[in-house]
Structure formats: C-alpha cells, structure tokens
Amino acid sequence: MGVIIMDLLKIKAKDIMITDPLAVHPTEQIAAVDLLMSRNHIGGIPVIENGNLVGLITMRDIMLSRFSICVNGMKVEDLMRRNPASVTPESSIKEVLNIIVNQQIDQIPVIDEGEVVGLIINENLLKMLYKYI
C-alpha cells in the first residue's frame, strides 16, 4: 500500500492536464460559449484577456444562471468565476486535490510563465487515480 501512495505522490499536474485547452474572451456571448462547450463535450473553459487568465466559465455556471436570469445577450464576463484557482505544471497531485476538495471545483487551469498551458478536469484526475486501485 505504501508503494502505491508513493507512486501517486509523484504525479504532477502536467501528467493529468489537457494540453492546449480551448479558451474564450470575457466579451464573448454566453450562447456561443454554451454551444462551444456542448459541441466539444467540455464542462469548463478558461477565460483569457490580453494573454492572462482572468476567469473560468463552466457549464454549471451557465445552467444555474438559466434559473435566475435571462442569459440572452449576456457575456462571459457576466457569469465567469473571476481569479480562479490555478496550478503550475509541476504542482503535485496533492495540491490539485486540495484545491478541488476545498474550493469544490471541477476544473483547474494550469499556468506556466503566465500562460494557460493546460486544464485539469475531474474526469482525468479520477481516471489517473483509478489506475492505482
């Protein structure tokens, strides 16, 4: 059992991230982003402005907004989660899990030298963990 845990602790964010994830701009229309996520079967997209991560928009954010307000004409900046938690490619799986559990999020952008280089989604994380049980 100890060997498995030691192997797990060697896993880094770069080992489980999706490389070159889709990204959107804060001024994009929610309807277009909703369609983009649906067509690509993804639950969240980093929001980039001037090359910097400024937010994260998730399908959950869009779905929940439909119950309270009219999303027609809304932009990403109206619903995005600002200043989302992020990790670096060298962040440990323990750091990633800590963020997911404590902040109750499903996606974590991976940042290297100020640029989004990847996205960790819970599904990929669970698949990696499943290999060890």
> Domain holding 72: CATH number?
3.10.580.10
Q: What distance, in Å, lies between the first and last C-alpha atoms of the chain?
A: 10
Domain that holds residue 25: 2-130
Q: What is the pTM of this model?
A: 0.86
Report the C-alpha dihedral over residues 125, 97, 46, 51, rounded to 10 degrees.
Answer: -120
Per-residue pLDDT of the chain (133 residues; tens, 9 = 90+): 566 667 788 899 999 999 989 999 999 999 899 999 999 999 999 999 999 999 999 998 888 877 666 667 789 999 999 999 999 999 999 999 999 999 888 899 999 999 999 999 998 888 888 887 7
61: CB partners within 8 A, 6+ apart: 79, 80, 81
Our count of domains for the chain comes to 1
Please give the C-alpha separations between residue 79 and each of 26, 40, 62, 82, in angstroms, as whole numbers.
9, 20, 7, 9
> Is residue 118 a contact partner of residue 14, using CB atoms and an 8 Å limit?
yes
Q: What is the largest CA-CA distance in the chain?
A: 54
